[in-house]
Structure 1
Amino acid sequence: MKFDWDQWNIQKNEAKHGVSILEAESCFYDSHLMIFDDQMHSTPSEKRFIMYAKSMEGRILMVGFTVRSGKIRVITARNASKKERRVYEKS
């Protein structure tokens, strides 16, 4: 898997949500990850997705991402809410 990050998102996720790029990327290797279309944030020119997954740190995260030029571009990554955790844990 290849990832594409911009400097702003790296800083934002670490400062605001305490999620490093390595932790966010580790979610894509969770065998129980759940991916949904993010219809609220998708546009005609860019489809976005929401993922619930367990990170290498053992935290359940919500990761918003898109795919650009064959690379995964993480937009945001944060601790999953209670509702999001329940959805993940029931899967």
Structure 2
Amino acid sequence: MPFDWAPWKADSNELKHQVTFGFALRVFADRKHMTYDVSRPEDADERRKAVGLVEGKLYCLVYTMRGDVCWIISARRTNSEEDKAYGNLRA
């Protein structure tokens, strides 16, 4: 699956969260990653969240599909709620 993102958004995300989009894409390599819908009524696109392990730490990647392209919206370390959900999945 091809991936893409807005360069300015990737730069601002890295400044804010210290995570590059390219690095965070590795959540998809986690065989036990979880993906779920996080769309809001005000969103024009259906948004998805993927949570998975990268180098032993959990990361969250928010994206939408634009045709066959996975368009990255944001990437960050997970919060405690996401950590717990991932832990419950793996238990």
**TM-score in same-fold range (> 0.5):** yes
Q: CA RMSD in A?
A: 1.6
Structure 2, unaligned runs of 5 or more:
none
Please report the TM-score for the alignment, with normalisation by the length of structure 1. 0.86
**Per the alignment, do residues 41 and 70 of structure 1 end up closer, same or farther by CA in structure 2, a change over 3 Å counting?**
farther
Pairing 1:67-82 to 2, within 5 Å after superposition: 67-82=65-80
Residue 52 (structure 1) aligned with residue 48 (structure 2): no
In the TM superposition, residue 21 of structure 1 has moved relative to its aligned partner by: 2.2
Q: How many residues get paired?
A: 89
Query: How far apart are the structure 2 equivalents of 1:31 and 1:42?
Result: 32
Amino acid paired to 1:33: H
Partner of 1:32: 32
Secondary structure of the residue that 1:32 maps to in structure 2? coil
> Percent identity among equivalent residues?
28
8 Å contact from structure 1 (residues 42, 48) kept in 2? no
Whose strand fraction is larger, Structure 1's or Structure 2's?
2
**Per the alignment, do residues 69 and 29 of structure 1 end up closer, same or farther by CA in structure 2, a change over 3 Å counting?**
same
Please report the TM-score for the alignment, with normalisation by the length of structure 2. 0.86
Structure 1, unaligned runs of 5 or more:
none
Secondary structure of the residue that 1:83 maps to in structure 2? helix
Partner of 2:61: 63
In the TM superposition, residue 41 of structure 1 has moved relative to its aligned partner by: 6.1
**Per the alignment, do residues 17 and 41 of structure 1 end up closer, same or farther by CA in structure 2, a change over 3 Å counting?**
farther
Query: How far apart are the structure 2 equivalents of 1:79 and 1:41?
Result: 25
